Amino acid sequence: MHHFTYRDGVLHAEGVSLVTIAEEVGTPFYCYSTATLVRHYQVFRDAFGDLDPLICYAVKANSNQAVIKTLGDLGAGMDVVSEGELRRALAAGVPADRIIFAGVGKTRAEMSFALEVGIRGFNVESEAEVEALSSVATELGKTARVAFRVNPDVDPGTHEKISTGKAEDKFGIAYEEAPRLYARAAELPGINADAIHMHIGSQITDLAPFHKAFTLMGELVSALRADNHTITHVDLGGGLGVPYAGTNDIPPHPDEYAKVVRETLGRHDVKIAFEPGRMIAANAGILIARVIYTKDAGAKRFVIGDGAMNDLIRPTLYEAYHDIWPVAEERCGGPERITDVVGPVCETGDYLARSRKLPEFKAGDLFAVMTAGAYGAVQAGTYNTRRLVPEVMVNRADYAVVRPRQTYDELINLDRLAPWLE
């Protein structure tokens, strides 16, 4: 469900025409809908009712401060994976005690900064890390709340590059190691390990792996309590998939996901936390680009747009499918062609859609790459010295540029000539 619809023949974001934004901002740009972000957060939260979980939005999905603040103002906590994300969340006004710090390679400097600002807790992924955290916390005279990220060795059935919960993945501690590591943590000064964390992967569209992993977490809560550990929280990570291909691939509704949570953990008397990223942000954003040229190669048509792999790398990196919609509704229902939508970057892998049956686009047409609000702008780069893509947020009839297009000077002047070249 999202708020990008045709009105008077033109694709709108809520009440704003995308033609209007394109004229002011130029193309390409990302456009986010406040109403969709808010709705997704609320649907997820409401699915759990009186379980009243802590929902820590996974900032990595979309870290624009306007997005963070929109969600933070609704009461969301944040899941961050670097000092940079932590600083962004704080800059967007999220209270530190609603922020959890995850990630497999936190440095001592990052731990120290997070302890100084007083974050809620750390998701810890190894024995070496908990020892480092203990030493940093002790030096600062603080206590770090810790959840070990437990790797349940469950195959989430998703793309291999976004699967994290199998034994061979780099993430977390082995399930069998958990009792030993909670015992170790109990001996360490400056550490209070009162929670368990897991996250098995992203874009998961089947509830069975969740059921399996959550059941294992419930069993672990009982086992750790039997060892006299106080376990008050279980953080179930993120991972719920979104419909990338319209009605052809509908992932489970948050209500069904919540049912699995109740079934597996409801009786364990723990506070539940989540780290959803994609299901909050993906459908709340689109990438708008303009066709520069078209060309035909045999039966195939290439639509060469001004949006490229440096703006949205998901198709190239994960073979990801994103629907492509024309901004002018009149193109729908007209003739269709088998089309590759490509960008100007000098790589064969520079495409946004491949071998797709699409309306017959013409030079100058605007098109939307749908479901691009998560892992879109955050993974954008400047390859081929293309300026970092701007971001726009819409709220009903208003819109604002929430990250302006980088200028060529800003981009190029990041370099310094070495003294011997001056």
The CB density around residue 10, as the number of other CB atoms within 10 Å, is 16
Instruction: Determine if 58 is a binding residue for ligand LLP (CB under 6 A).
Output: yes
Instruction: Determine if 235 is a binding residue for ligand LLP (CB under 6 A).
Output: no
239, 251, 307, 315: residue in contact with ligand LLP (rule CB under 6 A) = 239
Which region among 68-76, 93-101, 215-223, 233-241 touches ligand LLP (by CB under 6 A)?
233-241
Instruction: Determine if 79 is a binding residue for ligand LLP (CB under 6 A).
Output: yes
Which region among 11-19, 232-240, 291-299, 352-360 touches ligand LLP (by CB under 6 A)?
232-240
Alpha-carbon distance 178 to 194, whole Å?
13
Q: Decide: 361 and 367 in contact? Cβ < 8 Å.
A: yes
CB-nearest residue to ligand LLP: 238
Nearer to ligand LLP, 122 or 375 (CB): 375
Alpha-carbon distance 371 to 394, whole Å?
15
Instruction: Determine if 125 is a binding residue for ligand LLP (CB under 6 A).
Output: no
Instruction: Determine if 80 is a binding residue for ligand LLP (CB under 6 A).
Output: no
Active site residue 56: no
120, 278, 322, 356: residue in contact with ligand LLP (rule CB under 6 A) = 278
Q: Decide: 59 and 90 in contact? Cβ < 8 Å.
A: no
Q: Is residue 101 exposed (0-12), middle (13-18) or buried (19+ Cβ within 10 Å)?
A: buried
243, 276, 307, 343: residue in contact with ligand LLP (rule CB under 6 A) = 276
Q: Decide: 410 and 34 in contact? Cβ < 8 Å.
A: no
Tokens of 291: 């066709």
Q: Which of residues 87-116 bind ligand LLP (CB under 6 A)?
A: 102
Q: What is the DSSP letter of 201?
A: B
Picking from 94, 150, 146, 86, the residue whose alpha carbon sits closest to that of residue 116 is 86
- Rounded to a whole number of angstroms, the minimum distance from the CB of residue 198 to ligand LLP is 9
> Residue written as tokens 């986010």?
32
Alpha-carbon distance 215 to 221, whole Å?
10
Return the active site residues. Answer: 346
Q: Which residues bind ligand LLP (CB under 6 A)?
A: 58, 61, 79, 102, 162, 164, 199, 202-203, 237-239, 275-279, 314, 318, 375
